[in-house]
Amino acid sequence: MTVSGPVPRASVLSIEAYVPGKSTAPGSVKVWKLSSNETPLGPSPKAKAAFAGAADKLELYPDGSSSALRTAIAARYGLDPQRIICGAGSDELLSLLAYSYLGPGDEAVHSEHGFLVYKIATLAAGGTPVVAPEKNLTADVDALLAKVTARTRLVFLANPNNPTGTYLPFDEVKRLHAGLRPDILLVLDAAYAEYVRANDYEAGLELVATSGNVVMARTFSKIYGLAGLRLGWMVGPSSVIDAVNRIRGPFNVSAPAMAAGIAAIGDSAHVEAAVAHNDQWLAWLTAQLQALGLEVTPSVGNFLLVHFVQQPGKTAGDADAFLSARGLVLRRVDAYGLPNALRLTIGPEEANRLVVDTLREFLAR
Ligand SMILES: Cc1ncc(COP(=O)(O)O)c(C=O)c1O
């Protein structure tokens, strides 16, 4: 007898589930997790204390409007708290945007090696992802605009992008926006904004403030070191914030996450220390890996895309196996269409030095 169970929508079954970075390595070696762009500095001690303090009230539902957290974010960035929404990671907000604006037949454009959640969220909402080619592993405004059709509802842009680490100067972001119809929502995903030191970069607050069709998403998972708590936020036009508020879970952000987020945003010294660490080791790792003869895509984030050759024994897969066996867990990026590369998160000094020594050994053998 054949039992036929419930069948999900075809678009759901067309999704290849997101595979997070590995956190283990074979054997009993000490593991350095350099696969998910987490900060080696951890969260602010103030955020940890606030998190612990929230343990006394776990029986209570959190404030469903994340009011105190929105106030803290608004104060930090000079924003109107009414135009901010918080979520269980920025992933949640990206998905809620897709559910709010896409249905069957609607298109969302993203760039070739853009963050995978855009495709997943688009398909999950029943929409169609449309991929624009990149130039030099960098989003290309002309290519993105060329993919816009009458059915386009959303354009997703990670700036800087994960996993490439490349970015678009703000002039280019403005040119992209200028080329979009007012009914198309431009989603600027600035998950790594705090790390960027380029003078021509801006996360996009000015565009959000001056237009009716731009949102910017941010996260507490990266520089704030709160990935485990799942906390993100988004600022945008009232109409967009209102739409997303209608469909989000009524208590989508937990009380400990809110408390930690408020404390984290107030500890600017901790953020500065994380930026300084990244500046130092991003430059050092880039130079050292290039000196080994590896091609490294210039990155403005807290990670590097390292390229390998297709020669047997020297591929990205071979390097991944070699590094993993020594406790160094990097990220395979095949799912991003980059089978010959590995993504390396900037780690603590000891791990960074070990990566270079291990890759030297890998290339010499
Ligand atoms: C570009 C980009 N956007 C969003 C996210 C999601 O972050 P969150 O932990 O806030 O969901 C990530 C995390 O890897 C990312 O790389």
Average pLDDT over residues 109-115: 98
Q: Tell me the per-residue pLDDT of 187-244, one tens digit each, with 9 for 90 and over.
A: 999 999 999 999 999 999 999 999 999 999 999 999 999 999 999 999 999 999 999 9
Instruction: Determine the residue type at 116.
Output: L
Q: What integer is the mean pLDDT of 88-104?
A: 98
> CB of 232 closer than 6 A to ligand 1?
yes
pLDDT of 275 reads: 98
State residue 1's pLDDT score.
55
Out of 111, 222, 230, mutate this one to test ligand 1's pocket (max ligand atoms within 8 Å of CB): namely 222
Residue having the nearest C-alpha atom to atom 16 of ligand 1: 162
Q: Is 38 in the pocket of ligand 1 (CB under 6 A)?
A: no
Q: Which two tokens stand for residue 77?
A: 């960035």
Identify the pLDDT of residue 134: 98
122 lines ligand 1 (CB under 6 A): no
When pLDDT is averaged across residues 286-295 and rounded to a whole number, the result is 98
% of the chain residues with pLDDT over 90:
92
Q: Is the C-beta atom of 221 inside 6 A of ligand 1?
A: yes
Q: Which residues contact 336 (CB under 8 A, 6 or more apart)?
A: 113, 116, 163
Q: What is the 3-state secondary structure (H, E, C) of the chain?
A: CCCCCCCCCHHHHCCCCCCCCCCCCCCCCCCEECCCCCCCCCCCHHHHHHHHHHHHHCCCCCCCCCHHHHHHHHHHHCCCHHHEEEECHHHHHHHHHHHHHCCCCCEEEEECCCCCHHHHHHHHCCCEEEEECCECCECCHHHHHHCCCCCEEEEEEECCCCCCCCCCCHHHHHHHHHCCCCCCEEEEECCCHHHCCCCCCCCCHHHHHHCCCEEEEEECCCCCCCHHHCCEEEECCHHHHHHHHHHCCCCCCCHHHHHHHHHHHHCHHHHHHHHHHHHHHHHHHHHHHHHCCCEEECCCCCEEEEECCCCCCCCHHHHHHHHHHCCEECEECHHHCCCCEEEEECCCHHHHHHHHHHHHHHHHC
Q: How far is the CA of 156 from the centre of ligand 1 (A)?
A: 13
Max CA pair span of the chain: 67
Report which of 301, 298, 297 is spatially closest to residue 279, judged by C-alpha positions. Answer: 301
Question: Whole-number mean pLDDT of the chain?
Answer: 96
Residue 11 pLDDT: 87
Instruction: Kindly state the tokens that stand for 212.
Output: 């009716």
Ligand 1 center from residue 90 Cα (angstroms)? 6
Pocket test for ligand 1, best of 189, 252, 304, 331 (most atoms within 8 A of CB): 189
pLDDT band, very low/low/confident/very high, at 57 (cuts 50, 70, 90): very high
> Which segments of the chain belong to CATH 3.90.1150.10?
11-42+269-364
* Cβ–ligand 1 contact at 89 (below 6 Å): yes
Which conformational region is residue 88 in: left (phi greater than 0), alpha (psi within -120 to 50 degrees), or beta?
Answer: beta
Which segments of the chain belong to CATH 3.40.640.10?
Answer: 45-266
Q: Is 115 in the pocket of ligand 1 (CB under 6 A)?
A: yes
In which band, very low, low, confident or very high, does the pLDDT at 96 lie, cut at 50, 70 and 90? very high
pLDDT in tens, 332-360: 999 999 999 999 999 999 999 999 999 99
Among 5-19, 116-130, 316-330, the minimum mean pLDDT is found in: 5-19
Q: Distance (Å, rounded) from C-alpha 167 to C-alpha 297?
A: 11
CATH number belonging to domain 11-42+269-364: 3.90.1150.10
pLDDT for residue 29: 82
Query: HSE-up of 275 (CA within 13 Å, CB side)?
Result: 13
Please state the atom number of ligand 1 nearest to the C-alpha of residue 87: 10
State pLDDT tens for residues 154-175. 999 999 999 999 999 999 999 9
Residues 124 and 18 sit within 8 Å (Cβ to Cβ): no
pLDDT for residue 28? 65
Query: Is the CB of 301 within 6 Å of ligand 1?
Result: no
Q: Select from 215, 275, 199 the least CA-distant residue to 93.
A: 215
Give me ligand 1 centre to Cα 210, in Å.
Answer: 25
User: In the structure, what pLDDT confidence band is assigned to residue 3 with cuts at 50, 70 and 90?
Assistant: low
**CATH classification of 45-266, choosing from 3.40.640.10, 1.10.10.10, 2.60.40.420, 3.90.550.10?**
3.40.640.10
Q: Mind listing the pLDDT tens digit for each residue in 9-32? A: 888 888 988 888 888 877 768 999
